[in-house]
Structure 1
Amino acid sequence: MTTLSTPERRAGLSFEQTVPCSQAHRRCLGEVFVADTAALGGTEFLAAIQIPRAHSLWSDRVAPYHDPLAVIEAIRQAMTVIGHRYLQVPSGSPLSLQRMQADVEDLSALYEQPGTPLEGIVRIHTDRQSGGSGYFTDSSFTATLTVGAATALSVRGGGVAFPPEAYREFRTHQQQGRPPEGEPAAPVEPAPPGRVGRRDPRNVVIGDLPVDPGDSATMPLIVDQLHPSFFDHPYDHVPGPLMLEGFRQAALAIAGPQAVVALNARFSGFAELHGRLDYLARYDGDAEVDIALSQFGTTIAECLVELSPHPIDAQPRGALR
């Protein structure tokens, strides 16, 4: 049972059921990770989150540590739910993440406990005020996940909410300036699952690269629109969680399977569903991998990934190849 500190206990948060799918911008019940929320007053909020034990993507890992990107996805959902419930963000408003800094504060808090899902309390502060549309206003947030008594992970970032009609007009104008969709690209050979911290080949999202890539390498992003988690519902662009997973896998592919302990990402453009997307990863040989994502000759996102070896007492589940 999760033990809550005094403010969380007073809030009466529950893990009994998930919030409505529409509030989390998800289509499938199994893709909703937010159980409950509460307002603490002003711009402070709480959310109860839980990551399923048998999720086809987030439970697919070779080390007995929950994936920080699963937590980031849960926090992203929590921010969306809070926007709709408390900050008057109209239902159906597209949200665009512009920047994100995530830090694993205590890796041991993400250690997999047999028979127990990862669940905890996220405390969120945002500078977005309730009332008014808030459209086109860059809103910042900070979020901290507590698992039991441990501070597990913190996220800082910001983004913009679009009016639905304005978003459609913006994307139509943007796509008119892009090369038209041509012949289907040649199939990409995915990287071996173990090389990018996965066991299921379907969850590999980058193309293979040389066995010894040196200190830099280019690898394509695999956009599978039939993937049940990344494409839980239709998109007119490549979704952010898939781009982040590509950053993570590109870092592991060039630096070797390790724990991701920090991500610092910036998004400067939408990734179209057609047109090759390439990651260029540069490894400093120590702990950091600097990665840029480009399409049509333009960099549309960048991410600095910090890695750390898993503790030596953690035995990988399944052999790497």
Structure 2
Amino acid sequence: MAEPRPYLAALRYPTLTTTVPKELVHRAAVAEVMLTGWQREDDTRFRVEAQWPRSHSFFTPVDGEYHDPLMAAETIRQVGALLSHAEFGVPFGHQFLIREIGLTVHPEHLKVRQAPASLDLEITCVDVKRRGSCLSGMTYESVVRREGLIVATGRTSFTCVSPAVYGRLRPQRVFRADHRPVALTAPMAPQSVGRTSPADVVLSPIGHSNRWLLRLNSRHPVLFDHPVDHVPGMLLLEAARQGAAAALNRSTFLPLGVKTEYKRYTELDEPCFIEAHRLGPATPGGDERVRVTGHQGGALTFSSLVTAAPDAA
């Protein structure tokens, strides 16, 4: 008689938690998958579950106390890929281009506790576009809750295209085997951009107080989780966060909100310059705002508005 296999019995228990397949969220490393499940409510509304670890190699807790707000942005980004493949039928191999990421967080609900943060996301697809029967893009709104309390809200837009269309959109040099990013440059001092490790710094000094060179470390295990032919959108979001931290002179920086618009592909093999400027006086509530932009070859590639709480100091 065959030996009993306890793991088969375990699979029958619906309360056991695992991540969604990494392929559905465009990650190579299982450890980088934040989503743990989803349910369809109707054609445009979905419930998604996620979990954040108490610590992370890149999305490190801010001041040792708060979950990194950009982990919320990455979680919301993964939702778009998940629903596109699992619910809207986008084939694997199609290319996604983020057009906009907007995020607002509530720090009082971001605190790291003695267990990982279990999250429930309410997703509403408000602008679903199709080319024939195929999804060509959409906008979706996210409400992230932890034990019923709102941790973050977001609005994200993206387009997706077939491999054939993508091949026509992109310069042919990016598909060659010898295509390489620009040389790795020296990082800013981590504390000057709100980081603790030089390996996570994405800005390099060029002798200006508010202008830097985008630093591309293609071996970074999170920002470059898998090979790509352009600068990942999440890396540019991190550049916006670091630029804002530098402009505000914050060694510890927890952004309250960020709204980033991506205007064009940022190429790996050309220098990209990042600028950050404080926008006039603080808001009536005391919040600070910083505009961060990226330019490559004289053209704007992205623009980000970062909001920060008043400096406690």
TM tier, shorter chain?
0.7 to 0.9
Structure 1 Cα separation of the partners of residues 40 and 181 of structure 2: 50
User: Does 2:238 align with 1:245?
Assistant: yes
Q: Is the 8 A contact 1:87 1:129 kept in 2?
A: no
User: Does 2:152 align with 1:157?
Assistant: no
CA 1:77–1:184: 2 relative to 1, 3 Å: closer
Equivalent AA in structure 1 for residue 227 of structure 2: P
Q: Figure out how many residues of one structure are paired with residues of the other and give that number.
A: 289
Q: Is the 8 A contact 1:192 1:208 kept in 2?
A: no
Q: Is the 8 A contact 2:99 2:156 kept in 1?
A: yes
CA 1:239–1:36: 2 relative to 1, 3 Å: same
Structure 2 Cα separation of the partners of residues 150 and 262 of structure 1: 17
Alpha-carbon shift at residue 174 of structure 1 (Å): 8.8
Structure 2 Cα separation of the partners of residues 140 and 54 of structure 1: 30
Alpha-carbon shift at residue 171 of structure 1 (Å): 0.9
Equivalent AA in structure 2 for residue 109 of structure 1: H
Alpha-carbon shift at residue 56 of structure 1 (Å): 0.8
Aligned Cα root-mean-square deviation (Å) = 2.7
Equivalent AA in structure 2 for residue 192 of structure 1: A
Structure 1 Cα separation of the partners of residues 54 and 64 of structure 2: 14
**Which has the larger displacement, 118-127 or 227-236?**
118-127
Equivalent AA in structure 1 for residue 110 of structure 2: L
Q: Percent of aligned pairs with the same residue?
A: 26
User: Does 2:24 align with 1:23?
Assistant: yes
Alpha-carbon shift at residue 181 of structure 1 (Å): 7.8
Structure 1 Cα separation of the partners of residues 186 and 129 of structure 2: 47
Aligned to 1:47: 48
TM-score (norm 2): 0.84
Structure 2 unaligned blocks of 5 or more? 1-12, 283-287
Q: Is the 8 A contact 2:174 2:229 kept in 1?
A: no
Aligned to 1:265: 260
Structure 1 Cα separation of the partners of residues 240 and 42 of structure 2: 36
Alpha-carbon shift at residue 108 of structure 1 (Å): 0.7
CA 1:93–1:15: 2 relative to 1, 3 Å: farther
Alpha-carbon shift at residue 308 of structure 1 (Å): 0.8
Aligned to 2:285: none
Structure 1 Cα separation of the partners of residues 17 and 311 of structure 2: 32
Aligned to 1:316: none
Equivalent AA in structure 2 for residue 107 of structure 1: P
Aligned to 1:33: 34
Structure 2 Cα separation of the partners of residues 154 and 256 of structure 1: 27
Structure 2 Cα separation of the partners of residues 85 and 238 of structure 1: 26
Aligned to 1:199: 196
Structure 1 Cα separation of the partners of residues 98 and 302 of structure 2: 11
What SS does the corresponding residue of 1:134 show, helix, strand or coil? strand
Deviation per CA, 1:169-198, whole angstroms, max 9, x where unpaired?
Answer: 21136969xxx989965x533122222222
Equivalent AA in structure 2 for residue 201 of structure 1: P
